[in-house]
Amino acid sequence: MFHKEGHKIIIFTFAIVVVLALVVNHFVQLEWLRMGLLLTLIVLLVLILQFFRNPKRNYRPNDKQILSPVDGKVVVIEEVFEKEYFQDKRLMISVFMSPLNVHVTRYPAGGKVTYSKYHPGKYLVAWHPKASEENERTTVVVESSDFGPILHRQIAGALAKRIVNYAKEGQEVAQTDDSGFIKFGSRVDVYLPLDAKVDVSLNQKVSGGLSVLASK
């Protein structure tokens, strides 16, 4: 199953791969070179399919838990000053996604969307200290019943050139619903109350909508 954001890219890539494969097969005479080029085209197609996959999962929403919004690895757990929305200290957990991870962004908590804003910006590597302030990004805040306002921020990386954000202010959303999509490498930061109990550790691999980041 593939995410809707990838349908056009998958169709385009498939068409290009087929055309190039026919050209290579017809014009390249050297067997080893022809096979190498055909293999490269197949690998390219597989990587695109891998990136846009959207596997079915058995989600179990829980208002007393904050779930990871994406697949990836936890790279930051620290207390920071969040200046865009809260303008005070929050507990931030950052999850970095490689190009091989599922890139669907899911709501870490359910509730009412109180803030949703897109920011154009640079394309620093996703783990750069200033990426959360200078890169292309979207900020979404959901008012949850148990934790209060929970902010998650999609941050484009060096390869990402487009962030898709579905959140609209005023709408009610469910935990694990699609919040957006980041194309080709990125990171998502989640900002929690300082008293939230962290349930992950640095370098831990997490799954979007399944892994618990924090709890009451």
Which of 144, 186, 201, 215 is the catalytic position? 186
Residue 179 falls in the annotated catalytic set? no
Query: Please, which contacts does 84-91 make with residues 24 or more away whose CB atoms are closer than 8 Å?
Result: 84/117, 84/139, 85/115, 85/139, 85/141, 85/149, 85/151, 86/149, 86/151, 86/191, 89/194, 90/151, 90/191, 90/192, 90/193, 90/194, 91/191, 91/192, 91/193, 91/194, 91/196, 91/198, 91/214
Residue 93 has phi, psi (to 5 degrees) of -120, 125
Q: Which residues are the active-site residues?
A: 186
